[in-house]
Structure 1
Amino acid sequence: MHTRDMAKNPTTSSALLVPILASLFFLLVIVVSLSYDKVDYILPIRIFEHQEQVETRSSSTSVSNQEAECDLFSGRWVFDDETRPLYSGTQCKYMHDEVACEKYGRRDLKHQQWRWQPNGCDIPRFDAHELLTRLKGKRMVFVGDSLNRNQWVSMVCMVESIVSSEKKSMIYNGSLLSFRAKDFNASIDFYWSPLLVESNCDDPVLHRMTNRIMRISIEKHARQWTDADILVFNSYLWWKKPGMKMKVLHGSFEDEIENLEELEMAEGFQLALKEWSNWLELNQNPNVKLFFVSLSPTHVWSESPFRIVTLLYSISKLRMKVDFGRGDEWGAASDQNCYNETEPIHEEGYASRGSDYKMLHMVESTVAKMRRKGMSVQILNITQLSEYRKDGHPSVYRRYWVNITQEQLAEPSSYSDCTHWCVPGVPDAWNELLYSYIVSQQV
């Protein structure tokens, strides 16, 4: 069309101007987004080596001196259909339906047959009898959110098959779930505490609050695990909510008038970590083994300036499909998430846009301060090894506690769970790493 024709037709001119301006704005935000990623996501993860003297008990169960010096969290996934899976997901008596992928129709089970192989050393072969022997007369408690419960379910399934039916039990008591192996007088528990500190999300069933409120106190929760011999904490998912603020309650949840202060989520997370570390410093038995599990990555879309612009671009009627995936990170379509993924990511050092490494560094900084005060805390850094496992999520193969709409059913990726993990699967490797520390210490 000639210039004079465009001048005569202002509607056409405006229609062409919109995509040009949108494209310029789009490119600008991409540049900003890329620089944002470099700051927040590509920072190296510092590993804190555990300082305890390793006691070599036997070649089959102990971590050797070479292994103790090795970075267990740096390595690769090796396909191993001879020793994996470590147990049957359909036969585990205490499996949870939200992670029971095989039960809910997943037929490709290759995700169960990958073994984590650290660079330069080996993880001790998991031995359920050895673990329960170490836990004889003891209590291990996983404290945190649904990802920590995911790991707990894995651990229970890894050990329960060697205990006869009449010698094991599961007790459900609100936020506390307790597996007991009677012959060993051992308990492996999970306690629901998604923000670590007291909050309005503490109900084990009714906890999906859009208006999240925390109280900077851990006393109420700590009463449930003060007698534990091993504590495995986590907290991340409930702080990773784009656009949401955290409200801090000054006072009690029972007060008629609530005194609330609004903070950014990251600020709230920092306060929770401070309260957690202070309480442990003042109250915890120094003989208790403390672990903090690092952030568990997702393989689904995340809020970012890039995605906001994509949405605006779509709204401007330029007929561009909105991106609700992150498949472009591993060579798939940009709108692809974990749905139908059957292979790990093999790119060494892969780090997704969706993982907030700033929050991991907050944990590292907190733990470093605790260690300088003489406290023994080990970060179980499962982040990098889990980043590779886009194939390990339940996707649509799980029980959903709300009805799936016809629109969602027509597009399975729209309701895929790309946050939790199939069991057997990735959490088994987390527990093998935990086991490595337990058998290398005097537990």
Structure 2
Amino acid sequence: MPPASNSPSTAPPPPSAPAATKPRPRHPLGLDSLASTSRPLFAAARRSPVTTLACAITLLALIMYGEDARTIAELSIDDYLYPDADIYNVSGLPPIKLPPPTCDLAHGRWVFDNESLPLYREKECNFLTKQLTCLANGRNDDLWQYWQWQPNNCSLPTFDARRFMERMRGKRLMFVGDSLNRNQFYSLVCMVQSILSKGRKKVVKRGSNTIFHAKEYRATLEFYWAPFLVESNSDDPNIHSIEHRIIRPERIEGHAQYWRGVDYLIFDTYIWWMNTADIKIRRPDSRSWSEHDEVPRIEAYGRVLKTWSDWLNENIDPARTSVFFMTISPIHISPDKWGNPHGIKCAKETLPVLNYTEPLDLNHDMRLYDMVASTARSMKKVPVTLIDITRMSDYRKDAHTSVYSVRRGYLLTPKQKNDPEKFADCIHWCLPGVPDVWNTVLYTRIFSKSPPSSPPALALPPPQ
């Protein structure tokens, strides 16, 4: 901006008044947005007669079903108007250097790597929620982004977003569980979104489902909110009780109906079990959530895993669908455990634990870990691959969102940030960060399997 002149000058004449125009008429019943949506549909119909009937049906759906229908309409019209992404010539690439099946990826060490990491930049991934954008929320250091996991006796492959999306072409991948699986979902979205064309990728939230559409691959990456896997009084992703959580351990169909037809299912459930030693169970013939009993955590967890595994065996075709289960993601709230007795939870931690001589004891309920592992081993009809992230994540006291996050939807105030004992979030993870490594392990396991058989076409997730 040029400096202001010190010499006197005359003020420019005021601009002439614009000619009077009639105000644009508004459509009744909030149909302005409908009108704006319909214009490109009519244009599409003019371009190709093939789309005329589809446009007419789409406009009727817009009137009847609103935003969900608009999203489906956009995706359907895209199929006609825009080409798919070019086939990535995977056969012409060197094979992925996969670790041998016998290599233990769960045990190793963190190695500083500021050349190949981070895999993406926070400010370049517009799909991140405020809960996870630690730099934008005021964190001053960024070292947590530059640590690579190195297994003891092998190496993880480099994540190749194009190769991964080629595997996902025409398919659905869904994370199912709590907010840590949602954390991992957003990590994967950020790991792939940079290779997708602008305007051909979007996130849509519909009920319990958050869906990332990679339109040119006709693929979706999804997160489905089911913190206990089975039905509970906490199944609303936005409004749920923390203190009064009640589950129905033998009821899963309310959630599972949305898992059918998915090509890759990644489950987790742990953190929501840890508030109390006993879990509230709704009585089978009760009419309300107030009618419940309490049973020990391990008993309730076992009942849930049986319901879940029975459903998989009865409803999943292993020739099409691959199933994975994420192990415990740790909470770092006891700094004396890693030799910092004067610390406050994970606040102001900037480095991983680098002493690997013995594992940290972070008070996990390893009975739940063992039960998941045992259930996965017992699944013969529908194999379940365990993604063991617990030990590697135990060392990452530095990588949580801490006070650089949100509470009840709002960023922490300066006063709240100065009270980490009350407000530090030592459960969720900054992105880019540790969940990117989890997804690299998942990527490794996906490519270690033969590609599942492809369905005729991708079906959009059902409306809820």
Q: TM-score when scaled to structure 2?
A: 0.73
The whole-number CA distance in structure 2 between the counterparts of 1:211 and 1:58 is 55
SS in 2 for 1:420: strand
The answer to whether 1:178 aligns with 2:204 is no
Q: Is the 8 A contact 1:214 1:249 kept in 2?
A: no
The whole-number CA distance in structure 2 between the counterparts of 1:411 and 1:199 is 32
SS in 2 for 1:227: coil
| 1:255-404 paired onto structure 2 within 5 Å | 255=287, 259-287=291-319, 288-300=321-333, 326-348=334-356, 349-370=358-379, 373-401=380-408
Aligned to 2:178: 145
The whole-number CA distance in structure 2 between the counterparts of 1:143 and 1:58 is 34
1:233 positional shift: 0.2
Aligned to 1:426: 434
SS in 2 for 1:368: helix
Closer, same or farther in 2 for the Cα pair 1:402/1:133, shift >3 Å?
closer
Q: Is the 8 A contact 2:330 2:362 kept in 1?
A: no
1:399 positional shift: 2.1
1:99 positional shift: 1.2
Aligned to 1:249: 283
| Identical amino acids, percent of aligned pairs | 41
Aligned to 1:19: none
CA root-mean-square deviation = 2.1
Aligned to 2:423: 415
Deviations, residues 304-362 of structure 1 (Å, cap 9, x unaligned): xxxxxxxxxxxxxxxxxxxxxx2122111255321000010112242223311111001
The whole-number CA distance in structure 2 between the counterparts of 1:238 and 1:268 is 12
- Structure 1 unmatched ranges of 5 or more: 1-55, 301-325
Closer, same or farther in 2 for the Cα pair 1:268/1:61, shift >3 Å?
farther
Closer, same or farther in 2 for the Cα pair 1:256/1:337, shift >3 Å?
closer
Q: TM-score when scaled to structure 1?
A: 0.77
Tell me the amino acid that sits aligned with residue 340 of structure 1. Answer: K
Deviations, residues 360-393 of structure 1 (Å, cap 9, x unaligned): 00101111221xx333111000000000000010
Aligned to 1:220: 254
Closer, same or farther in 2 for the Cα pair 1:391/1:61, shift >3 Å?
farther
SS in 1 for 2:213: strand
1:258 positional shift: 5.8
Q: Is the 8 A contact 2:109 2:392 kept in 1?
A: yes
1:59 positional shift: 7.7
Closer, same or farther in 2 for the Cα pair 1:61/1:248, shift >3 Å?
farther
The whole-number CA distance in structure 2 between the counterparts of 1:237 and 1:168 is 31
- Structure 2 unmatched ranges of 5 or more: 1-89, 452-464
Q: Is the 8 A contact 1:248 1:263 kept in 2?
A: no
Tell me the amino acid that sits aligned with residue 433 of structure 1. Answer: V
Deviations, residues 203-233 of structure 1 (Å, cap 9, x unaligned): 0101133121111211110111111000000
Aligned to 1:91: 124
Q: Is the 8 A contact 1:63 1:439 kept in 2?
A: no
1:67 positional shift: 2.5
Q: Is the 8 A contact 1:156 1:179 kept in 2?
A: yes
Aligned to 2:156: 123
The whole-number CA distance in structure 2 between the counterparts of 1:158 and 1:73 is 21
Aligned to 1:154: 187
Tell me the amino acid that sits aligned with residue 268 of structure 1. Answer: A
Tell me the amino acid that sits aligned with residue 411 of structure 1. Answer: D
Aligned to 1:26: none
Q: Is the 8 A contact 2:280 2:292 kept in 1?
A: no
Aligned to 1:440: 448
Closer, same or farther in 2 for the Cα pair 1:203/1:169, shift >3 Å?
same
1:165 positional shift: 1.7
Rg larger for: 2
Tell me the amino acid that sits aligned with residue 390 of structure 1. Answer: K
The whole-number CA distance in structure 2 between the counterparts of 1:61 and 1:416 is 43
Aligned to 2:114: 81
Q: Is the 8 A contact 2:277 2:297 kept in 1?
A: no
Aligned to 2:237: 204
SS in 1 for 2:330: coil
The whole-number CA distance in structure 1 between the counterparts of 2:322 and 2:394 is 27
Closer, same or farther in 2 for the Cα pair 1:386/1:58, shift >3 Å?
farther
1:256 positional shift: 5.3
Tell me the amino acid that sits aligned with residue 377 of structure 1. Answer: V
Q: Is the 8 A contact 2:120 2:191 kept in 1?
A: yes
Tell me the amino acid that sits aligned with residue 295 of structure 1. Answer: I
The whole-number CA distance in structure 1 between the counterparts of 2:196 and 2:382 is 34
| 1:4-15 paired onto structure 2 within 5 Å | none
Tell me the amino acid that sits aligned with residue 112 of structure 2. Answer: F
The whole-number CA distance in structure 1 between the counterparts of 2:314 and 2:197 is 40
Closer, same or farther in 2 for the Cα pair 1:345/1:57, shift >3 Å?
farther
Tell me the amino acid that sits aligned with residue 227 of structure 1. Answer: G
SS in 2 for 1:177: strand
Closer, same or farther in 2 for the Cα pair 1:156/1:257, shift >3 Å?
closer
1:80 positional shift: 0.2
Deviations, residues 59-91 of structure 1 (Å, cap 9, x unaligned): 855354x53221111111100000110001112
Tell me the amino acid that sits aligned with residue 135 of structure 2. Answer: E
Closer, same or farther in 2 for the Cα pair 1:178/1:198, shift >3 Å?
same
The whole-number CA distance in structure 2 between the counterparts of 1:158 and 1:345 is 26
Tell me the amino acid that sits aligned with residue 407 of structure 2. Answer: Y
Tell me the amino acid that sits aligned with residue 376 of structure 1. Answer: P
